[in-house]
Amino acid sequence: MSAINQSVHDHGHHKDLAHHFDSLEQQHDANTLGMWAFLLTEVLFFGALFAAYTVYRYKYPTVFEEASNQLDITLGAINTAILIGSSLTMALAVRCSQVGSQKWTGHWLILTILFGCGFLGVKYVEWKHDYDIKLMPGKNFFHWQYAKEAKKMHAHGGGHALPDPNKVPRDDDPELGVKARLESEQARLFFLLYFCMTSLHALHMLIGFGIIIVIAYHAYKGAYSPEYYTPVELIGLYWHFVDIVWIFLFPLLYLLGAHLGH
């Protein structure tokens, strides 16, 4: 069967061209525009959290820097590198679909998912640690004095040993005074924003996994061609957007207090 017979629908137009479009190019441009319009709403979706972060960081600059210092910069930087790597593999997946190498489109998409899993694995380690040192926001979870004590123990060569919760004063202990209680409340706000932003980001990655798997499956089945690769292009846009969100989250959450020294 010739390539022409494969690509022509039985009533005279390309099999991938929807009836309401004049040409594949017009269809591709319209679909890309639609995806960008969706990403615009996503920018504002995440933007609301960035706005909340900006306001509270403006209000409580000192405590936000100290709270940021509880995060692990090494793990954050590794995750940034992993995500940039996944953006490269995604860009290569799109490129392979443009040049007609569908098998490699599938391979690069699978590799993108593997990088994504690596990212979420690191994120799990971080969240677990944050939970263990009582940084999870919530009335019965958050204990700022405990987190500070855990950090102090770690800095003095305590390894990964955790302090005894009964020996650490509560955040509202009258002996610590009002200042300590306010500090606890402000730090809790930082971690509320931290968990909201990183988990919304992680949720986007999980949704991305699902869509990438479907598109990789179609690529292996031979659904795309240099004339029609729009779905690969669109999932690429989505994935790069998720990468960009992290490009901003990393310095704003992790590097905020780095200059204070750990």
Partner 1 sequence: MASENHAHHGPASLVTYIGTFLALMVLTVITVIAGFQNFGVWNTPIALGIAVTKAAMVVLIFMHAYHSSPVTKLVIVASVFFLVIMIGMTLSDYISRGWTL
Binding site for partner 1 (CB under 8 A): 4, 7-8, 14, 17, 23-25, 28-29, 32-33, 36-37, 39-40, 43-44, 47-48, 50-51, 54-56, 58-59, 73, 77, 80-81, 84-85, 87-88, 90-92, 94-95, 98-99, 226-227, 233, 236-237, 240-241, 243-244, 247-248, 250-252, 254-255, 258-259, 261
Closest to partner 1 by CB, 133 or 235: 235
| Shortest reach from residue 215's CB to partner 1, in Å | 16
| Whole-angstrom distance, CA of residue 165 vs CA of residue 153 | 13
Beta bridge partners of 8: 14
| Whole-angstrom distance, CA of residue 205 vs CA of residue 124 | 14
Beta bridge partners of 3: none
| Whole-angstrom distance, CA of residue 155 vs CA of residue 228 | 56
Tokens 């390894």 map to which residue? Answer: 159
Closest to partner 1 by CB, 75 or 162: 75
| Whole-angstrom distance, CA of residue 51 vs CA of residue 198 | 15
| Shortest reach from residue 115's CB to partner 1, in Å | 12
Closest to partner 1 by CB, 43 or 153: 43
- Mention every residue, 6+ apart, whose C-beta is less than 8 A from residue 155: 262
Q: Where are the alpha helices (DSSP H) in 8-101?
A: 24-59, 61-68, 73-99
| Whole-angstrom distance, CA of residue 153 vs CA of residue 228 | 58
Closest to partner 1 by CB, 162 or 223: 223
Closest to partner 1 by CB, 195 or 250: 250
| Shortest reach from residue 188's CB to partner 1, in Å | 13
Closest to partner 1 by CB, 50 or 169: 50
- Eight-state DSSP code of residue 145: H
| Shortest reach from residue 127's CB to partner 1, in Å | 21
| Helix then strand then coil, % of the chain, to nearest 5 | 75, 0, 25
| Shortest reach from residue 191's CB to partner 1, in Å | 17
